[in-house]
Structure 1
Amino acid sequence: MKRITVLALIGFASVTAGTPAFADTIDTRGSYAGKIDYLGAGYTPTYGQTFTVGPANALNGFTFFLGGGATNVRAYVYSWGGHGVLGHAHYTSDVRSFGGTDGDAYQALRFDVGAIDLRPGQRYVAFLTTAGIDQPANGGVTWMPTAGDFGSNAYAGGDFVYTNAGDSLDAVVGKEWDDSNGVFGDVQFQADFSVGATSGAGVPEPAAWALLIGGFGIAGSTLRLRRARAGQLKTG
């Protein structure tokens, strides 16, 4: 009888130990191939990259790459509706300053966001904007390096997007974006994820649940049988 009880506990342990630990990274970096120019105040104020969330759904951070003239930007993450952003911001950064580079050089601009739960399988957009932000006196034209050749689809889960909407976040959020069809391909971009509280990754599969429930059933039957035999010995 003890052996059956142990097997039931082993079944429970195998369910919990067998839970997958998802982790995921989106990374479109590569060698310099081209640039999407004219990001900034007085030009196009908002550049972004859409992305699709996998099983590891908690966004920990993301990185854009900038070259060219100095600029001040703020980063956001929103749900993506196909032609523009939806709802309220999932993440808003403080104002970040990019000091500028020469020639074809570019630098990483990283945003650590904590662990923001997003919905697996849904598309979102991370973007940088100069809208409503004071700019440095020595500012100039800023650009983002492309992920592969201009217009290539380096990342199937998203695209580079932009909007020329006015100099306020309300305009950026409230209007259809100028390019939402991926004509320009992708920019170099990184995002890293971990398992979120609402991912469902920690929930056992149906077969695992069956094993778990069966294990408890065997353990319960064992206890009932032992009690019945104990009663028979007392009355016998």
Structure 2
Amino acid sequence: MKAAIAAAVASFAIAGSANAAIVTGFIPGGDAPIGTDTLLYDFTDGNLGVLDPGYVNTKIQSTTDGDGAQNPFSIPGGNYLDVLAGGSATITFDSLMRSISFNWGSVDSYNTLTIHWSGGDEVVIGNPGGGDQSNPSNNGVFFATVGAGESITGLTFASSQNSFEIDDISGSAVPEPATWAMMIAGFGLAGTALRRRRTAFAAA
């Protein structure tokens, strides 16, 4: 798995902040969500309301549209986000994300992904050798993870030609400060309980 990820990372041209606090990669044939990510948007209801108002030349594509578009997502299939020539779509997450993943279909050199995160914008260019929807190595799951103290705020999908196909956008939120406090308090209580058990066993 690690070798596949390393090879896939090398197939992308990465430009932007070049900060080591963000790790990106692509798993050919993979399916989002991965790791601790949970599904956020799957476009099943055909609703573009999750996108910022500024999206252009973007549609929810389905196999029933009759326009000849080939669905690159055989599993699970269904609707997906289609960014057409000259189009773009931005998603701003409701919560700060520690990691994101999404299904990227038919990875083309004219697809551009911008990851908006606390370290600056990270731009990912599609694989120049991709574009074959029938080739499993050109359809898979893209992921990005940031380090401690960092967060991902949104994604922008753009394409200069038809098309940039996206599905199953997923993410793992940065824990809220209150959640961290509860976790630390929980660890403290667990430690106290263990110390008391050890004392009781020693007395016995």
Give TM-score, length-normalised by structure 1.
0.36
- The structure showing larger relative contact order (alpha-carbon pairs under 8 Å, at least 6 residues apart) is 1
Larger strand proportion of the pair: 2
Task: Name the larger-Rg structure.
Answer: 1
